[in-house]
Structures are given as structure tokens and as C-alpha cells.
Amino acid sequence: MPSEAEKLAINRTTNLFVVTGPSGVGKGTMIAKILERVPHIAKSVSATTRQMREGERQNVDYFFCSSEEFFKMKLRGEFLEWAKFTEHYYGTPRSWVEKSLSEGQDVILEIEVEGAKQIRQKYPQAVLIFISPPSYDELKSRLQSRATESPERILTRLEKAKEELNSKNLFDYEVINDNLDEAIGNLEHIVYAERLRITR
Ligand code: ADP
Ligand code: 5GP
């Protein structure tokens, strides 16, 4: 006997969710929980030219590649969207996303703001969610305590964050990630509410 969640999945069209917002705001942390809690949803793995961080895995966290490989993929039209973020390139592989959606699975993209704007243009039906920090100082302290970048690179990301925070009105939803559990709960509500939508 299918569960209620499974019945819902059978009777619905699929959704492309885009989770965007400044680096360090908690996108990755929140999405990891959504993937554990919500059935029939998967996160796209992006290609990037940045160095692998300690603990990251090739083809799981990212397809880590050279700039040459990245540009070959771009020329072949393999990206749904791509952007340069600080000094590195990031792109979403088109074929996996299209295949997953056509097979009845919702997809989440975790991408920066320029890429999210491209998705807004190309896929007007995509659901775009902006994650905001409770304050700029809190964003700074999250990036500092994550400690995955040098102090100079953290500063670059914080400068970029100022621009990104000004773009939030282009998106459909804002979730403030102050209390983590509440923020995850709000993201989960958005996913389920969008699954019940009749029109867009
Ligand atoms: P992003 O994917 O947006 O760059 P991360 O998910 O890597 O951000 O989160 C950045 C850091 O902030 C991580 O160390 C994470 O554990 C921490 N973090 C995430 N959400 C919260 C929160 N609500 N309160 C405090 N720390 C948080
Ligand atoms: P990080 O280096 O911290 O992993 O990622 C830097 C920024 O790039 C984050 O905001 C992340 O969401 C974003 N990002 C990751 N993959 C992609 C992608 O495929 N496209 C775009 N446009 N941004 C991405």
C-alpha cells in the first residue's frame, strides 16, 4: 500500500527548486536535512573549478574539474546555468536535472545568485528560495567558524554577499536561517506546499 507521501508523488508534476543566498548562510546544511526528510527529491551535483576542501568527495560534493574541462562542457551546452563566483567557475549539469525531472523526481539546485537569476529566466516555473542570514555579522561569524577559506577569501565572499542580499526580491520565497531547525522546517513547508499547487 503506498503511503500518503508516495501517492502524492505519483499524482503530481515535478518541481525544480533553487536554493540560493550568500556563501555561509547555511544552504548546504539545510538541504542535507531536506534530502533526509523529504521523499522523491534529489540534489544536483555541480561542476566546479575550485579546489576540493578537506572531507569533500569527487562526484559526490562536486565534479571537480580543470578550467579547460569546464569550458569544454560549457561550449558543448552541457550546463543548465553557470557562473563565476569569486575566482572560480560553477555549473549545473543539464542532462541529470532534465532526466530526474522527467522520471518524476523533484530536483534541488544549491547555487549562487547569478545562476539562480539564469534559472528564473529559462525556467519560469522553477521555485526560487532565497536563504537570508539573521544579520551580516552572523554570516561573517559562520564563514569564519566554518574555516574552509582563508581570511582574504572570506572577505571576498562577504563583499559578494552584500550584492547578493540586494537581489532577494527577485525570488519567490525568503527563509531566514536564524534558528536552524525552524529554517529547515520552513524550507520543508515550501517543498510540500509547492507539490500541492494547481497552477503556477
Ligand atoms: P552555505 O552552504 O550556504 O555556504 P553552510 O551550510 O556550509 O553554508 O553553513 C555555513 C556554516 O554555518 C557551517 O559551519 C554550518 O554548520 C553553520 N550554520 C548553518 N546554519 C546555521 C544556523 N542556523 N546557526 C548557526 N550556524 C549555522
Ligand atoms: P562553495 O565554493 O562554497 O562550494 O560554493 C560557492 C558558491 O557557489 C555557493 O553559493 C554555491 O551555492 C554556489 N554554487 C555551487 N554550485 C553551483 C552551480 O552549479 N552554479 C552556480 N551558479 N553556483 C553554484
| Cβ partners under 8 Å of residue 118, min gap 6 | 81, 82, 83
Domain count, the chain: 1
What is the model's pLDDT at position 112? Answer: 97
Q: What is the pTM of this model?
A: 0.94
What is the model's pLDDT at position 199? Answer: 81
For the segment 42-100, what is each residue's pLDDT rounded down to a tens digit?
999 999 999 999 999 999 999 999 999 999 999 999 999 999 999 999 999 999 999 99
Bridge pairing between strands 127-132 and 16-20: parallel
Which has the closest alpha carbon to 92: 72, 74, 104, 69? 74
Distance 187 CA to ligand 1 centre (A): 15
Q: Whose CA is nearest to atom 7 of ligand 2?
A: 112
In a domain, 9, yes or no: yes
Which has the closest alpha carbon to 122: 76, 173, 79, 165? 79
- CB-ligand 2 contact for 24 (6 Å cutoff): no
In a domain, 95, yes or no: no
Which has the closest alpha carbon to 122: 87, 151, 84, 82? 82
In a domain, 87, yes or no: no
Distance 102 CA to ligand 1 centre (A): 32
In a domain, 111, yes or no: yes
In a domain, 50, yes or no: no
Q: Strands of 127-132's sheet, edge to edge?
A: 41-43, 106-110, 16-20, 127-132, 173-176
In a domain, 63, yes or no: no
Q: What is the CATH number of the domain that holds 39?
A: 3.40.50.300
Identify the domain containing residue 152 by its residue range: 4-44+105-196
- CB-ligand 1 contact for 28 (6 Å cutoff): yes
- CB-ligand 2 contact for 50 (6 Å cutoff): yes
